[in-house]
């Protein structure tokens, strides 16, 4: 009988890792773009940017993780949504600049590589990359025994996109009188989970498998709803309304992630402007109604920690705001007029 390899006995099974990764080319085929060179598994991913499409191409990059939403995946033993969350979050972060996603790279660290879990996570990456026309060109899977709790892992991802410099959305054109449109979220997306888990599991004594009548869902499944990607919609809006660099009624977008309304919208505001957000101007999802009614958290903090049902805001020239709103709804995204730009000092006020 062949004795086990020393490294495998120490907890790192290279052969298992190779077997698990052998199915990657087939899994990632749907994410392929013609600009991708080489194959997955090299020391570096290769992407040949077609510079003929741009006069002044600007590369836009972002890196992120999923945070403690992973704890819900562990508890529910559901890992198919996590990859989608990560890709969509990263796509949204560069979409606010008007950037088209080009390629994505992932990192997965775990104590023990579980083939079933690995496949679910990677399937989520592949599904979201294909939906966003973003190539998945590489990544890293690290087996680190003793570093993670049994059954746990961490994921992060890096995205690179491109935007024409003159069409980059930087918020400089924002002015008093512009309208703020809010695009619906699917739930908590990927932020606020440390507080949400405390509220639901510590304070309210729920279990992830608990059915909650107000939600018509198990609380764990509600909290695992996939982070919405707004990337394709943002691209469509910019093409439709910002037809020339000198005519840009779509002024800016803000991805409502960690920091909520309070900290994210100011990231795109010029110093001479404030934004007024009208609470109650959109449909508040039941999960946020439940948090508001049962948590004891102040109203201001709720809008700083959670997206409260709005995953992305668009600041639009008032004369084009109704047309833009109809366009968003025709593309299948519930949306509302939720505020306006007023003179100020680059802050958000909730009224």
Average pLDDT, stretch 263-275?
95
Q: Can you tell me the distance from the alpha carbon of 124 to that of 85, in angstroms, rounded to the nearest whole number? A: 8
Q: What is the DSSP letter of 1?
A: -
Residue of 191, 200, 324 lying closest to 260 (CA atoms):
191
Integer angstrom CA distances of residue 106 from 54, 118, 302: 27, 12, 31
Tell me the C-alpha distance between 34 and 30, whole Å: 12
Percent share of the chain, pLDDT over 70: 95
CA distance 152 to 147: 10
Mean pLDDT of 256-279: 95
What does 204-266 look like in DSSP terms, one character per residue? S---TT-EETTTTEEHHHHHTPPPPP-HHHHHHHHHHH--BTTB-SEEEEEE--TTHHHHHGG
Domains present along the chain, CATH in parentheses: 6-167 (3.30.1330.10), 179-350 (3.90.650.10)
185-239 confidence digits (pLDDT tens): 999 999 999 999 999 999 999 999 999 999 999 999 999 999 999 999 999 999 9
Q: Indicate if the pLDDT at residue 76 is higher than 90.
A: yes
The predicted structure's pLDDT at residue 42? 74
Look at phi and psi of residue 119 and say left if phi exceeds 0, alpha if psi is from -120 to 50, else beta.
alpha
CA of 111: how far to CAs of 154, 246, 265, 291, in Å?
A: 10, 53, 38, 34
- Cα 176 from chain centroid? 29
Q: In angstroms, what CA-CA distances link 102 with 68, 94, 207? A: 27, 11, 40
pLDDT in tens, 14-24: 777 677 676 66
pLDDT of residue 138: 86
What is the torsion angle, in degrees rounded to the nearest 10, for the CA atoms of residue 88, residue 90, residue 95 and residue 96?
120
pLDDT (average), residues 8-36: 74
Structure tokens at 19: 């077997």
Please give the helix or strand (H or E) that residue 340 lies within, else none.
strand 335-343
- State the pTM of this model: 0.93
What integer is the mean pLDDT of 5-32? 72
The total of other beta-carbon atoms located within 10 Å of residue 213's CB is: 7
Q: Hunting for tokens 């995953």 — which residue is that?
A: 311
């Amino acid at each position: 009988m062949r004795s086990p390899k020393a490294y495998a006995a120490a907890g790192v099974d290279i052969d298992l890792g190779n077997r698990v990764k052998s199915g990657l080319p087939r899994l990632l085929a749907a994410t392929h773009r013609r600009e991708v060179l080489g194959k997955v598994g090299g020391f570096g991913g290769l992407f040949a940017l077609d510079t003929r499409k741009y006069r002044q191409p600007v590369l836009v990059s972002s890196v992120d993780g999923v945070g403690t939403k992973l704890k819900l995946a562990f508890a529910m033993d559901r890992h198919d949504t996590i990859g989608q969350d990560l890709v969509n979050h990263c796509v949204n972060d560069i979409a606010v600049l008007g950037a088209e996603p080009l390629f994505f790279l992932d990192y997965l660290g775990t104590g023990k590589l579980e083939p079933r879990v690995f496949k679910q996570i990677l399937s989520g990456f592949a599904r979201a990359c294909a939906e966003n026309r973003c190539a998945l060109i590489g990544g890293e899977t690290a087996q680190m025994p003793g570093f993670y709790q049994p059954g746990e892992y961490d994921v992060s991802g890096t995205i690179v996109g491109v935007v024409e410099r003159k069409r980059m959305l930087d918020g400089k054109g924002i002015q008093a009188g512009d309208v703020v449109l809010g695009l619906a979220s699917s739930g908590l997306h990927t932020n606020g989970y440390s507080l949400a888990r405390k509220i639901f599991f510590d304070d309210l004594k729920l279990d992830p498998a608990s059915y909650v009548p107000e939600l018509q869902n198990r609380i764990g499944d509600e909290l695992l709803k996939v982070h919405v990607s707004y990337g394709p919609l943002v691209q469509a809006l910019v093409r439709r309304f910002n037809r020339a660099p000198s005519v840009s009624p779509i002024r800016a977008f803000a991805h409502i992630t960690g920091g909520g309304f309070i900290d994210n919208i100011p990231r795109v505001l010029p110093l001479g402007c404030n934004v007024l957000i009208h609470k109650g101007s959109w449909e508040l999802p039941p999960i946020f109604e439940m948090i508001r009614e049962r948590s004891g958290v102040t109203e201001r903090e709720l809008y700083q920690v959670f997206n409260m049902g709005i995953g992305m805001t668009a600041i639009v020239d008032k004369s084009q705001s109704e047309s833009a709103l109809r366009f968003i709804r025709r593309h299948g995204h519930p949306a509302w007029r939720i505020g306006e730009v007023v003179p100020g000092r680059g802050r958000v006020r909730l009224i």
